[in-house]
Chain A
Amino acid sequence: MTNRQPHPFLMSVLAGGLLLAITVYGFHGIGVAEAAATVPSPGWVTILILAATAAAWWLLGNLSALKGWPLLSIIVPAVFGLSLLLGWEFICRGYGVPKVLLPAPSQVWDAFFRELPTLIGDFRQTFMKAVIAGFALGNVLGLATALIVDRVPFLQLGLLPLGNMVSAVPVIGIAPIMVMWFGFGWESKTAVIVFMIFFPMLVNALAGLNAADAMQRDLMRSYAAGYWATLFKLRLPAALPFLFNALKINSTLALIGAIVAEFFGSPISGMGFRISVEVARMNVDVVWATIAVAALAGSLSYGLIALLERRLTSWHASFRTRS
């Protein structure tokens, strides 16, 4: 529908200019009101937000209709994200939403730089210690167990249904127990992560080890390849897409596990600790800044794994068809 528009590029520029003008006008109006220690009239803010939404939608529609531009798959979502932030800022500052309820993005931004040393300390405690150790240990244990289970069919029949059942269980509940066993330090968080990510890895690795088909295994046998040669040259490479699937799921789970486990007890740093303490002190902007750090860490690790996957499994159908 949208691609019937006459000149998507020209219209994009026009819509972008309109959005920019509305933004500048809006911030000016809000700034004048804030300088006088009041809030602008709600009717004006509502009209402003509606106008900005319409302009952003028009811009996005035209940008989506563009064809053959480089980086378009990044620009369109980026514009969408920025528009959301803009709307959030307008709503918070325009209607004078109390900071305790929802801070504006600019306030979160300020809090981020104001509390940067604390946030870095929390990141070190939670991510560099607990998450990385737990992620490595849990995945290695899951893969190793899968290799053992793979050799013992009886275990495979017994453990796989249990592994599938665990996916329905809120494993996060073991957090208080792990905190009791391993203390308030990062070790208890690592233990929670290991428990959380062990089964996704096990189930995916078992499926992956069966991914090489009978014909390929026969070929290996006809080369007189032993178990280990078959494992390293055929079955593990064939399992890689499954392993990466598990790694991606686990990267998010690991961060969640560490943060939630810190709610049950932690030393005086850590992202979960920061969130619970600053909520109690009503510093909601610092909480949002911590969440931004967590989101950034989560997205970056996910991206890193996805990049590695692209490198190592470029032969797989899901990537091959794209090029």
Chain B
Amino acid sequence: MSDGILQGVKDKALPVLAVVALIILGWYALSVALNWAQVSERLVKDGGAPGVADIVKGTWSMERPVLPSPDQVAVEFAKTTFGVKVTAKKSLVYHATVTASATLVSFALGALLGILLAIGIVHVQTLDRSLMPWVIASQTVPILAIAPMIIVVLGNIGITGLVPKSIISMYLCFFPVTIGMVKGLRSPDPMELDLMRSYNASQAQVFWKLRLPASVPFLFASLKVAVAISLTGAIVGELPTGASAGLGARLLSGSYYGQTVQIWSALFMAAILGATLVYGIGGIERLVLGRAGQSASARS
């Protein structure tokens, strides 16, 4: 039994680790290539004829490299994550918390709005005919682009902080939830609906006992998409100059001052945050679907 698990881990993890190792090696090589010109120039300026080994070593330890080496990023990441107090302005955990709180608030609101809208669309013919096409069309509008504007405009009338950021992310993430839920609430087939009718079930009963349970796998599939979008929205919402905290502000200040190492470590924090959120929802999904007797991959 444990042999089987070990074999499974070996089969699954080995290729992933190999590819990751390949990426890291390629990264080191790329950072040599991209930083080469600057380092060799500086070493020559300092006098002396640097050997290849000196330059390569130099490319991996520059202060403001074009591409920092993975260990530089790892050191900066560790320093700003574990090395400073969590509440300090320099702490990456602090910035991640700011972004995460905006993401979660907006995600909750957006998901709720999306679900309510989907229920309306499924039950009211007028909404279905008039609103649904717009929900689909709105997916093609690059709404994220107006995020900074909303921040600035709301800032002008005195609304700052969590609310404007959340409004954008909420707007972004309720569309996938609506579309997924409409699909899910309509997923019971005619036979199942007929059965409910033969029980003389009311519309509310059909909703609570058939439509809603049937829509849960669809809901989770779209929640995963929504939380990722919500995070992107929160980060882009932090880009305008007003924001001083959050991963987006960290990216922007890094890009102003040429602190590439800072940008990369913020990027990794964002990636970890995104993965955590999505896998967290995946975990809840397995829990809920397991209790409902469905497997996670049954329908989606």
A binds B: yes
A275 interface hit (Cβ, 8 Å): yes
* Consensus secondary structure, chain A interface: helix
A162 interface hit (Cβ, 8 Å): yes
A174 interface hit (Cβ, 8 Å): yes
Write the chain B residue with the least CB distance to A295: B141
Partner of A255, one of B12, B142, B279: B142
Which of A101, A102, A169 has most chain B Cβ within 10 Å?
A: A169
A100 interface hit (Cβ, 8 Å): yes
Partner of B149, one of A174, A287, A301: A287
Q: Is there contact, CB below 8 Å, between B140 and A167?
A: no
Write the chain A residue with the least CB distance to B151: A279
Q: Is there contact, CB below 8 Å, between A162 and B16?
A: yes
A298 interface hit (Cβ, 8 Å): yes
Write the chain B residue with the least CB distance to A1: B125
* 8 pairs of A and B residues whose beta carbons are closest in the complex: A176-B255, A158-B15, A158-B19, A80-B130, A157-B15, A168-B278, A77-B133, A302-B140
Q: How distant is the Cα of A60 from the Cα of B126 in the complex, in angstroms?
A: 6
Please name all residues of chain A whose beta carbon is closer than 8 Å to the beta carbon of B235 when the two chains form the complex: 170, 172-173
Q: Is there contact, CB below 8 Å, between B144 and A169?
A: no
Q: Is there contact, CB below 8 Å, between B232 and A172?
A: yes
Please name all residues of chain A whose beta carbon is closer than 8 Å to the beta carbon of B144 when the two chains form the complex: 256, 259-260
How far in angstroms is the closest Cβ of chain B from A278? Answer: 9
Partner of B20, one of A72, A162, A170, A252: A162
Q: How distant is the Cα of A271 from the Cα of B133 in the complex, in angstroms?
A: 26
Q: Is there contact, CB below 8 Å, between B139 and A252?
A: yes
Size of the chain B interface, CB-CB below 8 angstroms: 59
Q: How distant is the Cα of A157 from the Cα of B66 in the complex, in angstroms?
A: 32
> Of B41-49, B108-116, B268-276, B292-300, which binds chain A?
B268-276
Q: How distant is the Cα of A63 from the Cα of B279 in the complex, in angstroms?
A: 44
A42 interface hit (Cβ, 8 Å): no
B216 interface hit (Cβ, 8 Å): no
Q: Is there contact, CB below 8 Å, between A294 and B145?
A: yes
Q: Is there contact, CB below 8 Å, between B18 and A172?
A: no
Q: How distant is the Cα of A272 from the Cα of B20 in the complex, in angstroms?
A: 34
A313 interface hit (Cβ, 8 Å): no
Partner of B275, one of A156, A165, A301: A165
B96 interface hit (Cβ, 8 Å): no
Q: Is there contact, CB below 8 Å, between A294 and B263?
A: no
Interface set, chain A 145-159, CB cutoff 8 A to B: 154-159
Partner of A65, one of B19, B125, B133, B271: B125
Please name all residues of chain B whose beta carbon is closer than 8 Å to the beta carbon of A260 when the two chains form the complex: 144-145, 236, 239
Q: Is there contact, CB below 8 Å, between A161 and B146?
A: no
Write the chain A residue with the least CB distance to B20: A162
Given A77-B129, A251-B140, A272-B145; A176-B270 close (CB under 8 Å): no
Q: Is there contact, CB below 8 Å, between A279 and B149?
A: yes
Which of A57, A102, A158, A302 has most chain B Cβ within 10 Å?
A: A158
B161 interface hit (Cβ, 8 Å): no
How far in angstroms is the closest Cβ of chain B from A153? Answer: 9
Partner of A157, one of B12, B125, B254: B12
Q: Residue-by-residue, is A53-64 near B (CB-CB < 8 Å gives 1, otherwise 0)?
A: 000010011011
How far in angstroms is the closest Cβ of chain B from A57? Answer: 7
Which of B126, B263, B271, B274 has most chain A Cβ within 10 Å?
A: B126
Q: Residue-by-residue, is A20-49 near B (CB-CB < 8 Å gives 1, otherwise 0)?
A: 000000000000000000000000000000
Q: How distant is the Cα of A2 from the Cα of B141 in the complex, in angstroms?
A: 32
Write the chain A residue with the least CB distance to B281: A168
How far in angstroms is the closest Cβ of chain A from B268? Answer: 9
Partner of A259, one of B139, B145, B228: B145
Q: How distant is the Cα of A34 from the Cα of B15 in the complex, in angstroms?
A: 70
Partner of A252, one of B131, B142, B146, B148: B142
Please name all residues of chain A whose beta carbon is closer than 8 Å to the beta carbon of B66 when the two chains form the complex: 180-181
Please name all residues of chain B whose beta carbon is closer than 8 Å to the beta carbon of A174 when the two chains form the complex: 267
B2 interface hit (Cβ, 8 Å): no
Please name all residues of chain A whose beta carbon is closer than 8 Å to the beta carbon of B145 when the two chains form the complex: 255-256, 259-260, 271-272, 275, 291, 294
Q: How distant is the Cα of A179 from the Cα of B98 in the complex, in angstroms?
A: 25
Q: Residue-by-residue, is A100-111 near B (CB-CB < 8 Å gives 1, otherwise 0)?
A: 111000000000
Given A64-B130, A177-B264, A279-B152; A168-B255 close (CB under 8 Å): no
Q: Is there contact, CB below 8 Å, between A279 and B148?
A: yes
What are 28 A-B pairs at a CB distance below 8 A? A60-B130, A64-B125, A73-B129, A77-B130, A102-B153, A155-B19, A157-B11, A157-B16, A168-B228, A168-B271, A169-B271, A170-B228, A170-B235, A173-B235, A173-B266, A176-B252, A177-B255, A180-B255, A180-B260, A251-B140, A259-B145, A260-B144, A263-B239, A272-B145, A279-B153, A291-B145, A299-B137, A299-B140
Please name all residues of chain B whose beta carbon is closer than 8 Å to the beta carbon of A101 when the two chains form the complex: 153, 156-157
B134 interface hit (Cβ, 8 Å): yes
Please name all residues of chain B whose beta carbon is closer than 8 Å to the beta carbon of A303 when the two chains form the complex: 140
B83 interface hit (Cβ, 8 Å): no
Write the chain A residue with the least CB distance to B134: A77
Q: Is there contact, CB below 8 Å, between B270 and A60?
A: no
Q: Is there contact, CB below 8 Å, between B142 and A295?
A: yes
How far in angstroms is the closest Cβ of chain A from B247? Answer: 8
Please name all residues of chain B whose beta carbon is closer than 8 Å to the beta carbon of A63 when the two chains form the complex: 129
Write the chain A residue with the least CB distance to B229: A170
How far in angstroms is the closest Cβ of chain B from A26? Answer: 21
